[in-house]
Amino acid sequence: MGTSAEKVMVLDEAISRYVGDGCHISIGGFTLNRNPMAAVYEIMRQRKKNLHCYAHSNGTGVDELIGAGCVSKLDIAYGGNGKAAPTCIRFRAAIQRGEIEFEDYSNYQMSLRFHAGAMGLPFMPTRSGLGTDIVNRWGYSKEMRAKDLKIPNKKLAVIDNPFRGWCGASKVILLPAINPDVTIVHVQKADKFGTCRMEGLTFCDTEQAKAAKNVILTCDELVDAEVLRKTPEANQIPFIHVSAVVHVPFGAYPTACYNYYDYDPQYLSQASKFAKDDKLYKDYLDRFVYGVKNHQELLDMMGSERLANLAADKRTGYATNLDRR
Amino acid sequence: MNYTLREMMTIMAAREIHDGDIVFCGTGISMLAAMAAKHINAPNSITFFETGAIDSRLEEIPLAVSDSRVMYGAASNSGLLDAFATMQNRITGDHVIGILGAAQVDKYGNLNSTSIGDYYRPETRFPGSGGACDVASFVPRCIIFMQHEKRKFPNKVDYLTSPGYLDGPKGREKAGLLPGGPTAVVTNMAVMRFDDQTKEMYLASYYPGITPQQILENMEFSVDISRATEAVPPTERELKILREEVDPQRIIL
């Protein structure tokens, strides 16, 4: 929630103000596209702990947060990251070692949970998942659910269709709403008040933002409000939802940002290689995350030639013929 | 004609796609199969991604369903809520064919893509459902890609992530699901299908050089092999298009 005041601040201030230890958080994007990576790395640098993270398929960012030990609870649909990591590596390790508590849902179910949160409803129904272990097996214990008032008492509920088989449905699953303390989204364009425009797929970012108590927007371009107000129908999140706006060019790097730059296949596959070994991963964090003061320093380390190579082609919105082997 | 196993699997799956189908694509070989079908046997099929892109103009192979390559030239770019609603909605959902992969499949086509071993402290954790459970719940036809190995065809899946026919005939109906279930399992050795009456998997065709017995040796449960015939390998035309137009960069092939 935000007023019409200007909200531009630097990233470390936005993170320290709105991301506290133990807070409930969601990040935008999907696997290797438009993850708010600058913000993710800043959360890691600030050594945030015990985050309860809500994710549909937010691959790159969520895996880094888990790897750095920032996450203790995770509601998730998909911990994979395309070719570089069919199963996210630190996510897999954390679950196999019992280091985080987790609850499995599907992508649609997580999207509906954010949607319910954005709509102020306690739950949303779907026909997806009936008869599966997503319904039958619960990750969080009943005791934990009873103790923690920020977690609903049930993972989900199956009810008979109260409208006597209307639309051919005998039963539906009800999924509890999510209202994160903070959602962080990286967008192509925002103004200083927080109105923003995403280009290409919006994934579930709009619902995640509107469900959250606070929204941090990072943007590749900070534009004049008039630019966005000229075609308001192309804007998804108006300023009233937003608490902080941070101008971060290449803020989704190493993930992609449609019409701006592609994902960095080299970075992603190298990070996956490091992630497979605890010692190498620690060295990776020390060098690429903790070893830099901010996102710009990471970009400087990569070098302008490498970044120029990722620049989106004006016609296609991605880096045509990029070496992605 | 020489061809690789990957090419064989891609073409076997592509042939399952009918002209006019809306094809729900995942990543990797499933994306390749959808693109192959569009180039070869189903020019009017429509690629469709859970991220919200419909009828993308795929000039390059996307590495993930969120890849900017699925956004270019699409009929519309929306988001997850719209994409899954398109499948849950019978008006459009009945025209969708899903392509899925999994770590395990049982004789009723139920899929596990979550974990092997104890759910809480698994031996191996996989990514989880993603959109797979949603697709398998909603759409009438599904193709499943699998590797033929004993542990991947168990009597019982360790975790039932995505519904096939559940416990057999009427299983989906009893659970409250829409009619549907897998139509074909395309593996590195064979194509399996499901009996109309029993909903149990059977061997439909085996690849040249593979015997039905070898296939049974790579499964924990047994299947009917009496209906099996040798599969027709990829034709010269199919291979040419696959190599030259679908994946010329050899990203997946």
- Residue A142 confidence (pLDDT) above 80: yes
A44 and A150: one domain? Answer: no
A247-276 tens-digit pLDDT: 999 999 999 999 999 999 999 999 999 999
A78 and A199: one domain? Answer: yes
Please report, as a single letter, which amino acid is at residue B179. Answer: P
What per-residue confidence (pLDDT) applies to A73? 98
Would you say residue A325 lies in a domain? no
Query: How many separate domains does chain A show?
Result: 2
The beta-carbon neighbor of B80 closest among A107, A127, A262 is A107
- Residue A82 confidence (pLDDT) above 90: no
A136 and A113: one domain? Answer: no
A103 and A158: one domain? Answer: no
B59 labelled catalytic? no
For chain A, the first-to-last Cα distance in angstroms comes to 43
Q: Is the CB of residue B92 less than 8 Å away from at least one CB of chain A? A: no
- Residue A1 confidence (pLDDT) above 80: no
B164-184 tens-digit pLDDT: 999 999 999 999 999 999 999
Percent of chain A predicted with pLDDT > 90: 95
A105 and A219: one domain? Answer: yes
Instruction: Give the domain extent around A143.
Output: 123-176
Which residue in B31, B63, B129 has the most chain A C-beta atoms within 10 A of its own C-beta, making it the best mutation to test that interface?
Answer: B129
A136 and A166: one domain? Answer: yes
CATH number, domain of A164, equals 3.30.30.40
With H, G, I as helix, E, B as strand and everything else as coil, classify residue A24.
strand
- Checking B236-243 for CB contacts under 8 A at 24+ apart, the result is B236/B1, B237/B40, B238/B11, B238/B14, B238/B36, B238/B40, B239/B1, B239/B3, B239/B7, B239/B11, B241/B36, B241/B39, B241/B40, B242/B7, B242/B10, B242/B11, B242/B32, B242/B36, B242/B39, B242/B40, B243/B7
Q: Answer whether A200 sits within 8 Å of B71, measured CB to CB.
A: yes
Would you say residue A324 lies in a domain? no
- Residue A83 confidence (pLDDT) above 90: no
Please count the helices (runs of H) and the strands (runs of E) in chain B.
8, 14
A181 and A258: one domain? Answer: yes
Average pLDDT, chain A: 97
What per-residue confidence (pLDDT) applies to A137? 97
Would you say residue A68 lies in a domain? yes
A160 and A82: one domain? Answer: no
Phi/psi-derived region of residue A78, left when phi > 0, alpha when psi is between -120 and 50, beta in every other case: beta
Average pLDDT, chain B: 96
Q: Answer whether A130 sits within 8 Å of B177, measured CB to CB.
A: yes
| Residue of B7, B16, B50, B200 marked catalytic | B50
Would you say residue A169 lies in a domain? yes
- Residue A84 confidence (pLDDT) above 90: no
Would you say residue A223 lies in a domain? yes
A101 and A192: one domain? Answer: yes
Q: Answer whether A95 sits within 8 Å of B122, measured CB to CB.
A: yes
Place B26 in a pLDDT band, splitting at 50, 70 and 90. confident
Coarse DSSP helix, strand, coil percentages of chain A, rounded to the nearest 5 percent: 35, 20, 40
Instruction: Judge if pTM exceeds 0.80.
Output: yes
Q: Which residue of B has its CA nearest to A84?
A: B63
Average pLDDT of the residues in A170-197: 98
Q: Answer whether A132 sits within 8 Å of B161, measured CB to CB.
A: yes
A320/chain B closest Cα distance in angstroms? 8
Which residue in B24, B51, B80, B199 has the most chain A C-beta atoms within 10 A of its own C-beta, making it the best mutation to test that interface?
Answer: B80
- Residue A313 confidence (pLDDT) above 90: yes
Average pLDDT of the residues in A59-75: 97
Phi, psi of A159 (to 5 degrees): -130, 155
Q: Answer whether A134 sits within 8 Å of B50, measured CB to CB.
A: no
Give chain A positions within 8 Å (CB) of B72. Answer: 316-318
Structure tokens at A149: 């008032």
What per-residue confidence (pLDDT) applies to B253? 82
User: Which of A176, A191, A212 lies at the terminal end of a domain, its last residue?
Assistant: A176
Would you say residue A3 lies in a domain? no
B57-91 tens-digit pLDDT: 998 989 999 999 999 999 999 999 999 999 999 99
A199 and A68: one domain? Answer: yes
Average pLDDT of the residues in B31-39: 93
A193 and A248: one domain? Answer: yes
- Residue B28 confidence (pLDDT) above 90: no
- Residue A232 confidence (pLDDT) above 80: yes
CATH fold of the domain at B5-246 = Glutaconate Coenzyme A-transferase (3.40.1080)
Q: Answer whether A258 sits within 8 Å of B68, measured CB to CB.
A: yes
